Structure 1
């Protein structure tokens, strides 16, 4: 397929919904992710292995599509923070809920969701870099990444100066206010949910320690009281093991369902915030160009007017794309959170049902043979 000057092609050769991050391998401190995607032709699959640096390469190349009209108005799918083996408390806070898993499959799900969102985007899925990332046997991350306009627009000094710039469009003024509120709320919700999960993991660990301690109290001997005491210790230890398993399962359900939804919501609110900031930068550029055109001397008037028209066209493109992106994002975020809540409820109900049956068996074991006697 012939490419245009923006570096995009007309189609992606794989199905967006078929993209899966199926497994992860460890080599020292490095993680390698196996990505499988189904060919649209139906003739087979692509299997590629990618590091996190490869994901960063893809994200930076998406950011560098400066020639695509209105590209600054896109809410780019947010890439999760880099995973760390044996993360410190500080890194756990940075990674959030994605740092709570032991086998990294939760992190794989987050990367999988990122790739599916990029591949489903009507503009981003046309880039040859995405096609290369998903289908090439060679690791794309070894190539040098071009720094695009987003790197320049994200400088701290410029951000402070433009962050609170007054908007000329009531729609975007309202959206910026809503985003500011939701960014804080979604981040807080994810952090509080992480605290719940970490507490559940501590409770599960304590149950395991208590179960092991009870086993140490078991002694062999013919003393009837000691035999009775040892049997009680064994039974209580078994109950504590069941409690440990139950709390662990609850924590896993929390993270793999609602936890993933809250994490994605928080990262996407930040992504929208970045998009709104880029549009604000375009507004500042237009206002600057307009002032320069008004003050220009006759000899430079034509050139300044042309710069103003170009800035106005760029700003209008960005605003138009931004409105479409915001509408799409608001629909998608509701669907994602609804699905996360449904899955969370379903998984916790199943876990509760299984645990209730197990505790019933423990209770019968405590009651002994007499529990089966209707007259008891």
Structure 2
């Protein structure tokens, strides 16, 4: 029988699933920028298309997406699947909006960051695209109903009870168990190193975006100060000062606008992608933990079968076969999921980094052009 920490006798590598044709999403979803807000209720507009034709235009709230995630992941077996992560909800009430603004702009700032629903739309659209393109989750009837039924399905509050929390705690303790397969052990080791590194990279990039927002705010204050510093045009040197001041003011105002646009686009271009795949790795880690729990259960069933008395042998054998099947099916699905996940992660992050680098060059040239034009205009003034 199998020893502790080994399932070598029934390794999932023994079963190799046949290659299937690439899965094609049934629908194409676009979230428009038309967002309605009524107090704490925010409604997003979804345009659902099939074969190039619009089949439905829907309104959904964030809570509807949360309930969709719950239904899709609980209405079918999900062992071995890396579940696409839901984007975090933006701060919509004044209190949380103020907290977020102070975090971005500094504790002493009184500036409130406006609602950025366009970012929420893009992130929720990406979430639906990931669900629709998943070969298992994309076939979910719950997802189909979410995108085709005009009225949102009635949702219930999903809460974790004490037993569920205790179960999660016990499962987390199994994360240190050595894996029986080198492929999964290497993946677990990689996740353990990548997760904190990705979190640090997210924090560092977030600080860059915050710094740009603060610079934009300071440039706005400088513009206001320059507007107040104009002098009466009753003397020649006053007129010359006003002309130079106006040129400089326009230059700073342009730089302020460019900095705001740069922070917004960079956050969407690279920050959102980085955050998505960081959270996706967390989802992969949850899947690997689930597989480890199945492996530990399988080992326990093997030990129980060894020690079973004759009158309990049949039940122990049945439990062992069920645990074996669950572990094998999970391992086969997980292997395919991990390979596809890593392929998409590398491709999207590489594409995002390329776009980010190219955009940096574009912005730098625009800034240089703005400063050069201002300098030329100031030099042209006859002093």
TM-score range, shorter chain: 0.7 to 0.9
Distance in 1 of aligned mates of 2:244 and 2:285: 58
Q: 2:337 matched to which residue of 1?
A: 325
Distance in 1 of aligned mates of 2:291 and 2:269: 33
* Structure 1 residues 309-338: Cα deviation after superposition (integer angstroms, max 9, x where no partner): 000100000011000000000100011112
Closer/same/farther in 2, CA of residues 249 and 239 from structure 1, 3 Å limit: same
Contact 1:12 1:126 in 2 (8 A): no
* Structure 1 residues 85-127: Cα deviation after superposition (integer angstroms, max 9, x where no partner): 25358768999xxx98743211211111110011001111111
Q: 2:20 matched to which residue of 1?
A: none
2:88 to 68, 81, 86: 81
Q: CA deviation at 1:269?
A: 0.8
Distance in 1 of aligned mates of 2:285 and 2:99: 24
Contact 1:61 1:146 in 2 (8 A): no
Q: CA deviation at 1:192?
A: 0.6
Contact 1:64 1:146 in 2 (8 A): no
Query: Alignment partner of 2:79: what SS?
Result: helix
Contact 2:25 2:132 in 1 (8 A): no
Query: Alignment partner of 1:19: what SS?
Result: strand
Q: CA deviation at 1:159?
A: 3.5
Distance in 1 of aligned mates of 2:103 and 2:295: 32
* Structure 1 residues 257-277: Cα deviation after superposition (integer angstroms, max 9, x where no partner): 111221112111111111111
TM-score, normalised with respect to structure 1: 0.85
Closer/same/farther in 2, CA of residues 191 and 154 from structure 1, 3 Å limit: farther
Closer/same/farther in 2, CA of residues 102 and 358 from structure 1, 3 Å limit: farther
Map 1:191-202 to 2 at 5 A: 191-202=203-214
Distance in 2 of aligned mates of 1:94 and 1:13: 39
1:227 to 234, 239, 242: 239
1:238 to 233, 250, 256: 250
Closer/same/farther in 2, CA of residues 281 and 154 from structure 1, 3 Å limit: farther
Once superposed, what is the RMSD of the aligned Cα atoms?
Answer: 2.9
Query: Alignment partner of 1:81: what SS?
Result: coil
Query: Alignment partner of 1:79: what SS?
Result: coil
Distance in 2 of aligned mates of 1:261 and 1:145: 29
Distance in 1 of aligned mates of 2:232 and 2:102: 48
Q: CA deviation at 1:77?
A: 0.6
Map 1:21-170 to 2 at 5 A: 21-23=31-33, 24-40=35-51, 42-66=52-76, 68=77, 71-85=78-92, 86=94, 87=96, 102-140=115-153, 142-144=154-156, 152=164, 155-170=167-182
Closer/same/farther in 2, CA of residues 247 and 214 from structure 1, 3 Å limit: same
Query: Alignment partner of 1:31: what SS?
Result: strand
Distance in 1 of aligned mates of 2:58 and 2:339: 34
Contact 1:81 1:94 in 2 (8 A): no
- Structure 2 gaps of 5+ residues are 1-22, 105-111
Whose RCO is larger (CA < 8 A, sep 6+)?
2
Q: CA deviation at 1:143?
A: 3.4
- Structure 1 gaps of 5+ residues are 1-10, 372-376
